[in-house]
Amino acid sequence: MTEYTGFDKIYRDIVMEIIEQGTDQDPTLVRAKYADGTPAPTRFIQGVNFKITPADGIPILKSKRVFQKTPLVELEWIWQELSNDVTWLQDHKCKVWNEWVDENNTIGKAYGYQLAKKCRRLPNHDEKLNQVEYVLHQLENNPGSRRIMTSLWDVDDLDEMTLEPCVWATNWKVNNGVLDLHVKQRSADMALGNPFNVYQYAVLHRLIADQLDFELGTMHWCIDDAHVYDRHIDVLKNQLSQPVPASEPTLVLPAKIAENGSTRSFFERRLSDVKLENYENNGVFKYEIAE
């Protein structure tokens, strides 16, 4: 066991700042509730920024177990399936969206629906690309651009989403062959959601860098409202008081070259096929879900 380093230290510093110096939510403004119907107020700080460099290793917490498969199945559904149909997730034994489905078993015009929109036209081309196609094309053909972005926050569609996106934007930046990723998150449940999201996008960053032969750069993360729920505070203090394993996990990406020698596309190299090896952690800490 060892002291906190990398993302574990970044995460602990942010959470302890919230617990020790954060602002308690106005009780008249509390929307979320626990399963027993009790209001679930938060303690929060605003404008949190951090960065993960390659030297920090794989940003998956060792202070608690973060389930490896579920985050990647969900991100595959969003970034590779480009889907809003929760049936696909359920068929892959992922239940994270079951509470927010509509009468058609979708999440409305949220997440994958937005990335699938044919909304970006290249110069001198009539056909439009979806947001993911556009990012990949520009990274490969126009890497100096400062406009290689995705957005899930379409104001015209917000009322037709069963839940507005928490992680809502990415910005991809190349310099001297190094690929950086900027991620914007409007709201972060620090006990449950943020560790899940950081691991997701760290894997996506690595897969796209590998796909396009870039050196992995820095992942910059920006949170507007970073919060902990009142019933999470004591569990978080316990979790973050324990020393963590010294070993570092490693990530194995799906092969870029197929057995027949052809180069596989980003959409063929499935995120759920990524393997995390040597992941030692302090086990499961149970947090009540607030919705």
pLDDT in tens, 53-104: 999 999 999 999 999 999 999 999 999 999 999 999 999 999 999 999 999 9
* Span 152-171, average pLDDT: 98
Confirm if 41 and 18 have CB atoms less than 8 A apart.
Answer: no
pLDDT for res 267: 98
| pLDDT over 90 at 130, yes or no | yes
* Span 141-145, average pLDDT: 96
Asked whether residue 205 is marked as a ligand-binding residue, the answer is no
Asked whether residue 209 is marked as a ligand-binding residue, the answer is no
Question: Structural domain boundaries of the chain?
Answer: 6-277
Q: Answer yes or no: CATH 3.30.499.10 is held by domain 6-277.
A: no
| pLDDT over 70 at 1, yes or no | no
> Quick one: CA torsion of 110, 112, 116, 121, rounded to 10 degrees?
80
d(CA 156, CA 148): 22
pLDDT for res 125: 79
Asked whether residue 113 is marked as a ligand-binding residue, the answer is no
Considering the candidates 94, 119, 166, 222, report the single residue annotated as catalytic. Answer: 166
Burial class (CB in 10 A: 0-12, 13-18, 19+), 124: exposed
Asked whether residue 31 is marked as a ligand-binding residue, the answer is no
* Span 28-54, average pLDDT: 97
Burial class (CB in 10 A: 0-12, 13-18, 19+), 204: buried
222 annotated active-site:
no
| pLDDT over 80 at 124, yes or no | no
Strand 215-229 to strand 178-189: parallel, antiparallel, or no bridges (unpaired)? parallel
| pLDDT over 70 at 163, yes or no | yes
